[in-house]
Amino acid sequence: MKAYVFPGQGAQFPGMGKDLYEKHPLARELFETANRLLNFRITDIMFEGSDDDLRQTKVTQPAVFLHSVVSARTLGDDFHPEMVAGHSLGEFSALVAAGALSFEDGLLLVYKRALAMQKAGEQNPGTMAAILNLPDEKVEEICAEVDEIVVPANYNCPGQVVISGAVGGVDAACERMLAAGAKRALKLKVGGAFHSPLMAPAKEELEKAIHAATFGTPVCPVFQNVGASGETDPARIKNNLIAQLTAPVKWTQSVRNMIAAGADDFTELGPGNVLHGLIRKISGDVSVN
């Protein structure tokens, strides 16, 4: 069965989407629609901006979403998903690609989400770190032992879990992870403690916007980050999207459940190929392209 997956924040790179804009009239139309809806020329930043320009959360999220959705739309009749999933922000791309959400509503929700997360990161400063080669259970155990806020945020693949929380909490957890045998505890350059309780103010803001948006039934199951299961009910999809901001991204579990549901051919749509490597580490028995 054919599955399409969509990356999240961190997949961006300078020049992203320029080839699509130049080659496809439909891509050009979608990019220009985005420029109008956002009230700034995001294409200028995507095509000509620097790494730092693209790293601003308010730019990164709509830029990755745009690249991903445009990539799906330009496949035309060749796009036949039997299931979809997206990593964090990529869940919005997946929902638009699967027809549960319009391009316009998806873009505006992503932009509101980005602004709300950036604001929450300023209100409640925090950080994230990637923990390598430590069992998930050990990561969870150490996070629970630290007095300050620190939680597992992204279950990316076996042996790679990202933790998130207050700076002191993440630092203390990193020390303990290394002492427990982690190969690395790598601090990430991020604008906040994403997928942690510190994103609660952003969750409140996004909740209103999500409830105000129109969601329909997707053409195929959407494996969402919060529950790692395939969803088609619009009400459940909405609730999971809201919960996602402060809950962990269960990517390992989602991919395993997609495979259990019959997925054997994964295609990543969006900038870069971050998810390629993660899926291959989760299972060596599926095709990934």
Q: Does the reported pTM lie above 0.85?
A: yes
Q: Evaluate if residue 55 carries a pLDDT over 90.
A: no
Residue 114 lies in a domain: yes
What letter does residue 198 receive in the DSSP assignment? G
In this structure, is the dihedral angle defined by the CA atoms of residues 106, 112, 115 and 117, taken in order, positive or negative? negative
- In 3D space, the residue among 289, 234, 224 whose CA is nearest the CA of residue 254 turns out to be 224
Token representation of residue 53: 């320009």
Q: Evaluate if residue 58 carries a pLDDT over 90.
A: no
Q: What is the pLDDT of residues 14-32, one digit of tens each?
A: 999 999 999 999 999 999 9
Catalytic option among 67, 71, 87, 88? 88
Residue 195 appears among annotated catalytic residues: yes
- In 3D space, the residue among 238, 268, 18 whose CA is nearest the CA of residue 109 turns out to be 238
Q: What pLDDT band is residue 57 in, cutting at 50, 70 and 90?
A: confident
- In 3D space, the residue among 269, 45, 284 whose CA is nearest the CA of residue 157 turns out to be 284
Q: What is the pLDDT of residues 198-229, one digit of tens each?
A: 999 999 899 999 999 999 999 999 999 999 99
What letter does residue 122 receive in the DSSP assignment? H
Token representation of residue 225: 């980050």
Domain count, the chain: 2
CB 42 within 8 A of CB 34: yes
Unique residue bearing structure tokens 């439909």: 26
Q: Evaluate if residue 82 carries a pLDDT over 90.
A: yes
CB 126 within 8 A of CB 200: no
Clarify whether residues 77 and 179 are in a common domain: no
- In 3D space, the residue among 221, 176, 173 whose CA is nearest the CA of residue 196 turns out to be 173
Clarify whether residues 143 and 235 are in a common domain: no
Residue 192 lies in a domain: no
CATH number at residue 151: 3.30.70.250
By DSSP bridging, strand 265-268 and strand 2-6 are parallel
Distance (Å, whole) CA 236 – CA 208:
15
Domain of residue 155: give its range.
Answer: 127-187
Clarify whether residues 182 and 59 are in a common domain: no
Task: Report the pLDDT value the prediction gives residue 190, as an integer from 0 to 100.
Answer: 87
Mean pLDDT of 76-93: 96
Catalytic option among 71, 195, 196, 283? 195
Q: What is the pLDDT of residues 172-190, one digit of tens each?
A: 999 999 999 999 999 998 8
Q: Evaluate if residue 159 carries a pLDDT over 90.
A: yes
Clarify whether residues 206 and 92 are in a common domain: yes
Residue with the bigger pLDDT between 212 and 57: it is 212
CATH number at residue 23: 3.40.366.10
